[in-house]
Structures are given as structure tokens and as C-alpha cells.
């Protein structure tokens, strides 16, 4: 019987490099370089170090797969977990708008680790990653807005995406791929409750998704079976995790619509829900030559998802939690023209930041909410200290496909992230990035940093 799950599994198992249009290949290279920069940005982070210590303690002490920020090698499982945690902590990894899903942080870590273990080619890595992106994005869209209200889609849809990417590298048959998806789906998890107390769960979500997806694929290769319809079945993911699931989204133009190419890059180092309003505020300040002291009140007109995720963060206590505070992000943008890692680290609790933060509010906007998640419109109303009312609007935030980053900007971002974390020297980072731009020509996927 043909079901959406069998269709997805067959597509993922049978995808070939030659099936992927050249612009999608180039975009995947862009996404890979961007992910690598985000991974190195995680160097030295306390929760990332904790997960890496755990993964490496479980062993082995050596292996075929690179734990990037540790300059060590271990099993694919350990490397996938550690690298997935590292690439999500700086809030600089990519996002797909329509699925509200961060594909890179759960697809590339297990795919890279397994490709290194198998000696796969660069084209194999790209193809497996595209399979993971295409399936994961569609699952996120399928699960819908109600899912995201409680569940972190990157942890849930991401577990299946990781299984698909690894399963492709393992050359699973369509039936085996369906079993891998079934096992991944039944272990998928990730809840937003951590935001209320600034807990470390977000890094666990990505580490778990990468590791559990990898495990599901290897188990399927060994004959282990999983639910045939874990996505759309009567007791599957949608039944337990969504009230507005749309099964048609699972196979929407599969093989002709390349969702990978729709993925956005992050410009600001914060939750993506803050970016549209941040860019809209910047536009108002630039057009009217405003300074931070000119801002009496900033009202952001947002979609419900922004209120659900950002609303609980009223008084951020940590750098990471502050990245989910609309007021903090806009305060930094108003002061510095962007909200980068250095700005968060040095100024998220400064007197001026806190004063500006308290002048920012969120209100639900019907137009913005109706467009979301396909479009993330930014709208702000600014009351100035001299009594003016100004309005700003951005239809495509910086980093979206229609306002994307160039390869020069992606490279500069990666170098900037490495410099901030100290995870690699400028020379090491430049050499690694230069090599990654040529990934499609690699006969064998090797180490990115530990060989430099």
C-alpha cells in the first residue's frame, strides 16, 4: 500500500546526486558552510561541553568521526551528538520558515559523522543531506502550528530528518528507510518548557535528535523494524503532537519543489522570531536617523508563534535566554545596528539594554499571523520621545531566500563566529571554509578541523 510515509521513504532512499538541480547543490554547500561556522561558535559553551563530555565518556576514545570543537575523534554516534549540540547554541544556524525547523543542526552532524566513518564522497554527503532536509522540512510543515506551540520541531521532525540522512548514506532500501523513520519517530522529543527557567534543554534536543536518528538508521540496516506510518498513523506523531496536521504537506511536490533551497540563514544571533521585528526597527531608525534615546515605545506586531515562544521570557537571566527576549534583541539592534554574539555577551544586561527592553511590547497582528509561517513579516510601531509615531515594515528579513546572504557574507559570518568563540584560528577557519566550498569534488569526506 502506498502511503505518505512509503512515498517519503522511497524518495529518500532512491535520491541520487544527479537528481538534484545545480542551484540546490550550491545552496546545500552554502548551508553546510553556514552550519560549520555555527558549530565552531559553540566552542567553550558550558551545555555543549557537558554533552560532549558525556558522549566522549561513553566512548570510544578514538574512532573515525570528528568531534569538531574537541579536536578528537570517536564513534559516529558520539560525534553526531556533540556537533549537533555545538551548532545550535549560538542561535546562528539556519531555519526553514514554513516548517519553523532548523534543519542544519540535526542533518549535517550525523551525516558528516557517518560519511567520515564510511569514507563516503562529498557528493554522497550532499545527497544524504538534501534527503534529510526535504523529509524533515515536510514533516515540520505537516505537524503544523499547533505542534510548535508545545514541541520544538527541530527536536521532533529533526529526529526523523537525521535518520533519513544517515539511512541514505547506509544505502537503506525504501522498506528499511521506512523502518528507520518509524524508529526515529517513536523517539522524537523536545518541549519548549525549558525557556521559562533558562534550562539547557535546547542543546539536548539537537544532540538527541542527531543521535537517535543515527541509531534508528543503523538499527534498520540490521533488520530492526519500525512503525510503517509513524507520521500519519492513528497513533503516530501527528495524532499525539498536533491538532492541525495536514497530511498533504508530507509529499507536496516531492522531487520538484526543493524545500532545501527555501531555507533561510540567520543574520542576528537570536531566536528567528525576533528577526523580522529587529529588521523593521532598524529600517525605521535608519530612515528617520533615530538614536536609542529617541525610542519611547516600540510595539512589535507579530504572529502567534512569536508570542508562544518569546512570551515566557520576561526577565532573561542568561545570554542564551536573552536571545528569546524580543525586548533584549531590539534593544541591542537599536544600540549597535545588529544583535551579534559579542553584543549579547557584553551588553544583554547593561542598564541601557534593560531600559530599552522594557519599552518593547508584542501584540498579535492579524496580517502577520495569517502569513506565518510561509512568510515572516516584520512590523513595528515606534513612539519617539518627541511625540512622533513611526511605522516600519520588512517583508523578507535579512537571510531569507529573497534577501539571502552571499557566499562572501557566509564566509565572513563563519570567520566572525570562530573569532568570537576562539574555536579556531583565522587561518584554520579560512582553510576549512575554503575546503568546504569544494565539498562536491571531495572523493572522500575527511576531517574539517582536526587535520589542520
Q: Contact at 8 Å (CB) between 365 and 379?
A: yes
What is the average pLDDT score of the chain? 97
Residue 218 has pLDDT above 60, yes or no: yes
Of 1 and 122, more confident? 122
Q: Contact at 8 Å (CB) between 199 and 207?
A: no
Q: Contact at 8 Å (CB) between 159 and 212?
A: yes
Reference 164, options 13, 15, 27, 297; nearest CA is 13
CA angle at 342 for the pair 340 and 344, rounded to the nearest 5°: 70
H helices of 59-121, in order, are 76-86, 104-118
Q: What is the mean pLDDT of residues 320-343?
A: 97
9-54 per-position pLDDT tens digit: 999 999 999 999 999 999 999 999 999 999 999 999 999 999 999 9
Reference 325, options 336, 304, 339; nearest CA is 339
Q: CB under 8 Å to 244, separation ≥6 — which residues? A: 144, 145, 146, 147
Locus of grid cell 532573561: 316
Residue 134 has pLDDT above 70, yes or no: yes
Q: What is the mean pLDDT of residues 70-82?
A: 97
pLDDT band (50, 70, 90) for residue 451? low
Residue 176 has pLDDT above 90, yes or no: yes
Residue 298 has pLDDT above 60, yes or no: yes
Cis bond before residue 112 (omega within 30° of 0): no
Residue 438 has pLDDT above 80, yes or no: yes
Reference 259, options 157, 182, 156; nearest CA is 157
- Predicted confidence at residue 29, as pLDDT, reads 98
The phi-psi region of residue 171 (left if phi > 0; otherwise alpha if psi is between -120 and 50; otherwise beta) is left
- Predicted confidence at residue 452, as pLDDT, reads 56
Distance CA 94, CA 29 (A): 13
pLDDT band (50, 70, 90) for residue 177? very high
Q: What is the mean pLDDT of residues 333-360?
A: 97
What percent of the chain is modeled with pLDDT above 90? 98
Which is it for strands 65-67 and 72-74: parallel, antiparallel or unpaired? antiparallel
Give kind and range of the element (H or E) at residue 39.
helix 22-41
pLDDT band (50, 70, 90) for residue 161? very high
- Predicted confidence at residue 59, as pLDDT, reads 84
Cis bond before residue 34 (omega within 30° of 0): no
Q: What is the mean pLDDT of residues 228-251?
A: 98
Q: What is the mean pLDDT of residues 204-225?
A: 98
Residue 63: exposure state from Cβ atoms within 10 A (0-12, 13-18, ≥19): buried
Residue 432 has pLDDT above 80, yes or no: yes
C-alpha cell at 301: 506586531
Distance CA 228, CA 122 (A): 31
Amino acid at each position: 500500500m502506498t502511503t505518505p510515509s512509503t512515498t517519503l521513504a522511497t524518495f529518500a532512499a532512491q535520491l541520487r546526486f544527479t537528481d538534484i538541480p545545480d542551484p540546490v547543490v550550491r545552496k546545500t554547500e552554502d548551508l553546510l558552510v553556514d552550519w560549520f561556522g555555527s558549530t565552531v561558535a559553540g566552542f567553550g559553551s558550558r551545555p555543549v561541553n557537558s554533552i560532549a563530555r558525556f558522549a566522549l565518556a561513553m566512548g570510544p576514545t578514538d574512532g573515525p568521526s570528528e568531534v569538531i570543537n574537541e579536536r578528537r575523534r570517536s564513534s559516529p554516534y558520539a560525534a553526531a551528538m556533540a556537533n549537533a549540540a555545538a551548532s545550535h547554541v549560538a542561535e546562528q544556524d539556519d531555519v526553514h520558515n514554513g516548517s519553523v525547523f532548523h534543519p542544519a543542526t540535526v542533518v549535517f552532524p550525523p551525516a558528516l559523522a557517518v560519511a567520515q566513518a564510511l569514507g563516503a564522497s562529498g557528493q554522497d554527503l550532499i545527497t544524504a543531506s538534501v534527503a534529510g532536509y526535504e523529509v524533515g522540512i515536510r514533516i515540520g510543515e505537516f505537524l503544523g502550528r499547533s505542534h510548535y506551540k508545545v514541541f520544538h520541531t527541530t527536536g521532533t521532525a529533526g529526529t526523523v530528518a537525521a535518520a533519513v540522512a544517515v539511512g541514505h548514506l547506509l544505502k537503506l532500501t525504501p522498506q528499511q528507510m521506512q523502518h528507520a523513520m518509524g524508529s526515529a519517530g517513536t523517539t522524537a522529543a523536545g518541549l519548549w518548557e525549558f525557556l521559562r527557567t533558562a534550562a539547557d534543554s535546547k542543546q539536548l534536543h539537537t544532540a538527541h535528535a542527531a543521535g537517535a536518528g543515527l541509531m534508528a538508521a543503523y538499527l534498520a540496516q540490521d533488520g530492526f523494524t519500525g512503525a510503517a506510518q509513524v507520521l500519519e498513523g492513528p497513533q503516530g506523531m501527528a495524532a499525539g503532537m498536533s491538532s492541525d496536521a495536514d497530511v498533504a504537506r508530507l509529499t507536496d511536490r516531492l522531487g520538484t519543489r526543493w524545500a532545501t533551497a527555501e531555507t533561510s540563514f540567520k543574520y542576528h544571533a537570536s531566536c528567528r522570531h525576533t528577526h523580522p521585528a529587529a529588521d523593521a526597527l532598524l529600517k525605521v531608525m535608519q530612515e528617520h536617523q533615530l538614536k536609542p534615546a529617541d525610542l519611547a515605545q516600540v510595539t512589535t506586531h507579530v504572529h502567534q508563534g512569536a508570542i508562544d515562544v518569546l512570551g515566557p521570557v520576561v526577565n532573561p537571566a542568561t545570554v542564551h535566554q536573552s536571545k528569546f527576549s524580543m525586548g533584549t534583541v531590539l534593544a541591542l539592534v537599536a544600540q549597535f545596528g545588529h544583535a551579534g554574539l559579542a553584543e549579547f555577551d557584553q551588553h544583554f544586561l547593561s542598564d541601557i539594554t534593560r531600559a530599552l527592553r522594557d519599552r518593547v511590547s508584542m501584540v498579535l497582528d492579524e496580517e502577520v499571523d495569517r502569513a506565518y509561517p510561509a512568510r515572516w513579516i516584520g512590523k513595528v510601531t515606534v513612539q519617539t520621545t518627541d511625540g512622533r509615531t513611526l511605522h516600519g515594515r520588512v517583508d523578507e528579513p535579512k537571510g531569507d531566500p529573497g534577501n539571502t546572504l552571499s557566499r562572501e557574507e557566509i564566509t565572513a559570518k563563519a570567520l566572525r563566529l570562530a573569532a568570537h568563540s576562539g574555536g579556531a584560528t583565522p587561518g584554520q577557519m579560512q582553510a576549512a571554509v575554503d575546503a568546504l566550498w569544494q565539498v562536491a569534488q571531495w572523493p572522500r569526506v575527511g576531517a574539517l578541523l582536526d587535520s589542520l
